[in-house]
Chain A
């Protein structure tokens, strides 16, 4: 037990879609300033788990706790209001909007009198550019640029900076490095560490062991919807983690298969 409450805690969460059980009895804790890496094979239920945390799905049974109090999210907005921010794979979702405009979607800064509200473009641009630059992305210096003109890594960085700017306490990143090259991915990882340094709890989904090892403090492995392993940094070796990420026996199976089939790749059956 620790002296402080975890920022976010799942207690015996189950989720099923009709007859399909996707999550089984998940209990997990994330503390402030901690990076939790959520690992698991395709279809293990990682996205379903974070959607439950983000208010997209409601748990079928089980409880979600924040700061020692029970919470319940009926819609994504409820989770967002409590400081849970989700950044999806491609970061900015408004490719044809400018950096300044998309940064402030829904919370536009205005000036003007009475009913004549004016969108304060200068302020929006300045705040947005300053927020990304504080994360070390100094190449972004013009808030009038369109999101679609940024690189994948810059978009991710911008989305993370936005979440932090608006007071996120839990940052959920669903495969933020999936489509990125080595250099861009390391940029995003550095920003994850920066967010952690600011005391934010980060939940990070990835399929790449290197990325998980680089930033993770705490690892949780899902296999077919159940929590197969839950351990802290340093408690398991790189090989053990790789093995767990592939669903345990999978790699051993593959070795056996390759041996018995003269090295031909197996057919792709899920």
Chain B
């Protein structure tokens, strides 16, 4: 379960004052993830009431945690890109392409899994590299560039799959070792991807909030030109972020093929919008320069709870989409409020 603590607790101004508690509360409200935390709690309570005991139990938790982990693995790097002022839609076809790569190499041709997995991950890195270079060279917005690479990768995957195997889907029966690290269900219901997701959260939280590189990412999203003039290697950072997202998408594809033991050409498109929604619900500014990893985690959990929680209630499942759409709007409005609060001057009473 997620807790309310953030990786870098706000320690207020040095001078000890009476309004310490209020300042601490004020400090929390000013954090970019404040809105998304409240949203997550509200949604959880809502489904705890209407979903009943089953939703609160282990099976309920597993159902939304599995969804959160899968979309979360790509939402994190997409969020970093968005903080840096870019978007990546190509993940939608990199995920199935990576699944198919593993299935064709290790399933259809029966080569060792390590080859299939390595090829899939290398493919993800390569697509990310191409995205980064194209965005930098052409100066076309990354939204357009990555729509282009998304279709290119989709066409390539379809063409190669049919050419090599004569079909658009391929089966894979992974050996126990590979099934265990990428595709097992812990306790019979929790996907192992949950642990990979947690690892990814830890690494990217370190990069964004603790290491000095995080500052570069925020500066890049704030103003690319000024960031470059300040001596930040903006091109390297941009390409690195696209490669991270390509790698993460391929990693998810590898996990999926190990879990479901088959891969199809289509099937990753839903991750495009879902990951962007998680990121925006998580308080990341669409235009870049603002956001946090904890926020993205809260946004992802919120999305997953609504996505799965609806099946534990008596409501029409289609209502889930309506709730998610409404949630997105509310989140953006709420995040604007919290951002305005963050910008407001703290020390009014003191001179």
Contact = CB atoms under 8 A, between A and B. Distances in A.
B229 A101 contact: no
B343 A105 contact: no
A118 B214 CA distance: 10
B215 to A, nearest CB: 5
A54 B7 CA distance: 39
Interface in B229-276: 229-232
A141 interface: yes
B272 to A, nearest CB: 26
B41 interface: no
B222 interface: yes
A93 B290 contact: no
B101 to A, nearest CB: 30
A141 B222 contact: no
Given A105-B232, A145-B345, A149-B343, A118 B211 contact: yes
A144 B346 CA distance: 10
A144 B10 contact: yes
Interface stretch (A5-13, A106-114, A237-245): A106-114
A1 to B, nearest CB: 35
A97 B13 contact: no
A102 B216 CA distance: 10
Chain B, interface residues (CB within 8 Å), range: 20 to 34
Contacts of B351: 139
B222 A106 contact: no
A97 B222 contact: yes
A94 B214 contact: no
Interface string B203-237: 00000001110111011001100111111100000
B345 A76 contact: no
A96 B285 contact: yes
B289 interface: yes
B99 to A, nearest CB: 32
B43 interface: no
Contacts of A231: none
A98 to B, nearest CB: 9
A146 B162 CA distance: 54
B212 A119 contact: yes
A148 interface: yes
Interface string B14-38: 0000000000000000000000000
A94 B346 CA distance: 19
A107 B229 CA distance: 12
Contacts of B228: 76-77
A236 interface: no
A91 to B, nearest CB: 11
Interface string A82-108: 000000000001111100011011111
A142 B347 contact: yes
A105 B227 contact: yes
A130 interface: no
A200 interface: no
A139 B289 CA distance: 25
Nearest to A54: B229
B222 A93 contact: yes
A103 to B, nearest CB: 10
B8 interface: yes
Nearest to B10: A144
A141 B227 CA distance: 25
A267 B237 CA distance: 50
B343 A119 contact: no
Interface string B179-215: 0000000000000000000000000000000111011
26 contacts: A77-B228, A80-B229, A80-B231, A93-B226, A94-B223, A94-B226, A94-B289, A95-B343, A96-B339, A97-B219, A97-B222, A102-B222, A104-B215, A105-B215, A105-B219, A106-B219, A106-B227, A106-B232, A110-B212, A118-B210, A118-B212, A119-B215, A141-B13, A148-B343, A149-B345, A149-B346
Given A105-B226, A108-B215, A119-B211, 19 more contacts: A77-B231, A93-B222, A93-B223, A94-B222, A94-B289, A95-B343, A96-B218, A96-B222, A101-B218, A105-B230, A105-B232, A106-B216, A106-B219, A117-B212, A118-B211, A141-B13, A141-B347, A141-B350, A149-B344
Interface of B: 8, 10, 12-13, 210-212, 214-216, 218-219, 222-223, 226-232, 285, 289-290, 339, 342-347, 350-351
